[in-house]
Amino acid sequence: MSYLFNTPEDLQQMLEAIGVGSIDDLFACIPPSLRLDRPLQLPPAMGELELSRHMSALAASNRCAEDTICFLGGGSYDHFIPAVVDALASRGEFYTSYTPYQPEVSQGNLQAMFEYQTMVCQLTGMDVSNASLYDGGSAAVEAVLMCLSATRRDGNVVVPASVHPEYRQILETYLINLGTQLVTVPTDDGVVDPDALAAVVNDRTACVLIQHPNFFGCLEQVEAVGRIAHDAGALLVQAFDPISLGLLKRPGDLGADIAIAEGQSLGNPMIFGGPYLGIMACRDQFVRRLPGRIAGQTTDRRGRRCWVLTLQTREQHIRRDKATSNICTNQGLIAVRAAIYLSVLGPQGLRQTAEQCLQKARYAMQQIAASQRFEAAFAAPTFKEFVVRDTEDRVTQLLRDSCQHGILAGVPLGRWYPQWQDAFLVTVTEKRTRSEIDALAKVLADGGRAV
């Protein structure tokens, strides 16, 4: 086995030093009745060459965004990743290190965390960021849990149906054990009607969670919703799309108390859903309720500026069952990737990316809607994705046929919204070219039959 070191001589010397006759003796502490009395039933070992062949064949049998044209979104996006991100993040000193519990030999990670936190604050207009959570969905649920404790209200949590359906499923999974009700406000027009939302927010509401741009790509009236929440003594959590902030007002400027996001789009491949990045930032007053690790600035004994993990008394290894969360391992490397990505883009690069997404998505919508068969499902303005209604109501077949022609045309909505079996979500990132968009419009107009 190539990763092991011990030679037969080493083994003998080590056993002698320990004072046992065999390796088996070292396992004498496990009663025979509790041991496995047969080999594991697993395929035999593969050498590197065999494994490479095996994995390459499996990978090649998938169809991916590199050999198709991808218009899929809904929280995972085919944005461009500059080479710098992979080159830097694949340095062993980053990816083979552990949590910076020994700051003297972890300044690289700590400083990168501190820079990431700063960039998240710059991006969101919030006061503080943690060093990452697992993904957008777990950031959503952690934000809601923060609100339950900050408001000391556990009656209900209000969420428009335009929030990512998986986030809402996660919330349901968690909240059922805490006795808090999840109240879903319908969004028949693709956005939430503030009056309808106001009708269910009450003095037992801990928070309203709104997504802007929402799951359908539509812009919500965040400030109006925030006022409703705040008037009732509840908090406002906003889920945002990091790329959209190249153009849109920031959560901090819209009145959000906590801002959360899926950070995959900041320099990370789609890789079927993970590892991704849970972004979370909040206002100063909630900092002691933030879950997860935080890097903080301090000085060493010689007065030099340096970084450490700080406010650890919030965390599980100190506070155990009173901790703000159970999170330990986070998404450190993905946060570093996000920091590198944002450094490469800078404010202008982010704006340019956001603008191209907007322009191309709008162009795509116009091209698709040129066909009699399709129409935009909602009137609300959209950013980089939009919902298309198929008046012939044959979405499954249409998408499958488009795929045959090498175009991943969209995400069907029916699986989460039974009333919208005839609709699908189309996403256009800056990577898509005019000719690709034209090909999409054509394949759809032709009913998925030809390009």
Ligand X SMILES: Cc1ncc(COP(=O)(O)O)c(C=O)c1O
Name the residues that contact ligand X, by CB under 6 A: 328-329
Q: What mask of x and - would describe binding to other proteins in positions 228 to 257, judged by CB under 8 A?
A: -----------------xxxxxx--x----
Q: Minimum distance from CB of 398 to other proteins (Å)?
A: 12
Q: Measured from the CB atom, is 194 or 332 closer to ligand X?
A: 332
Q: Measured from the CB atom, is 61 or 329 closer to ligand X?
A: 329
Q: Measured from the CB atom, is 318 or 328 closer to ligand X?
A: 328
Nearest-angstrom CA–CA distance, 385 and 219 = 11
Q: Minimum distance from CB of 243 to other proteins (Å)?
A: 11
Q: Measured from the CB atom, is 156 or 330 closer to other proteins?
A: 330
Contact status: 418 vs other proteins (CB under 8 A) = no
Place of tokens 């993040």: 89
Q: Which does 4 bind (CB under 5 to 8 A by kind): ligand X, other proteins, none?
A: other proteins
Contact status: 195 vs other proteins (CB under 8 A) = no
Cβ(6)–Cβ(14) below 8 Å:
yes
CA nearest to 147, candidates 212, 216, 210: 210
Contact status: 162 vs other proteins (CB under 8 A) = no
Q: Measured from the CB atom, is 109 or 429 closer to ligand X?
A: 109
CA nearest to 270, candidates 55, 56, 71: 71
> Which listed range, 192-200, 225-233, 328-336, 443-451, lies at the site for other proteins (CB under 8 A)?
328-336
Query: Pick from 181, 184, 202, 312: which binds other proteins (CB under 8 A)?
Result: 312
Q: Minimum distance from CB of 423 to ligand X (Å)?
A: 38
CA nearest to 184, candidates 153, 163, 211, 206: 163
Q: What mask of x and - would describe binding to other proteins in positions 363 to 402, judged by CB under 8 A?
A: x-----------------x-x---------------xx--
Element (H, E) at 156: strand 156-160
Q: What mask of x and - would describe binding to other proteins in positions 117 to 156, judged by CB under 8 A?
A: xxx-xxxxx-xxx-xx-xxxxx------x-----------
Q: Which two tokens stand for residue 69?
A: 């044209």
Q: Which two tokens stand for residue 234?
A: 């509840």
Q: Measured from the CB atom, is 329 or 372 closer to ligand X?
A: 329
Q: Measured from the CB atom, is 315 or 385 closer to ligand X?
A: 315
Q: CA-CA distances (angstroms) from residue 113 to 7, 100, 122, 131?
A: 41, 10, 14, 6
Contact status: 183 vs other proteins (CB under 8 A) = no
Q: Minimum distance from CB of 366 to other proteins (Å)?
A: 9
> Which listed range, 82-90, 187-195, 203-211, 224-232, lies at the site for other proteins (CB under 8 A)?
82-90
The arrangement of strands across the sheet holding 181-185 comes to 128-129, 278-282, 258-262, 235-240, 205-211, 156-160, 181-185
C-alpha dihedral (264, 270, 273, 277), degrees to nearest 10: -20
Q: Minimum distance from CB of 320 to other proteins (Å)?
A: 4
CA nearest to 282, candidates 139, 109, 128: 128
Phi and psi for 423 in degrees, rounded to 5?
-125, 150
Contact status: 107 vs other proteins (CB under 8 A) = yes
156-160 and 205-211 beta bridge pairing:
parallel
Start-to-end CA distance of the chain, whole Å, equals 51
Positions 22 through 81 that interact with other proteins (CB under 8 A) = 23, 26-27, 29-31, 33-36, 39-48, 51-52, 54-66, 68, 70, 72, 74-76, 78, 80
Element (H, E) at 235: strand 235-240
Q: Measured from the CB atom, is 251 or 292 closer to ligand X?
A: 292
Q: CA-CA distances (angstroms) from residue 285 to 52, 150, 153, 281?
A: 51, 10, 17, 12
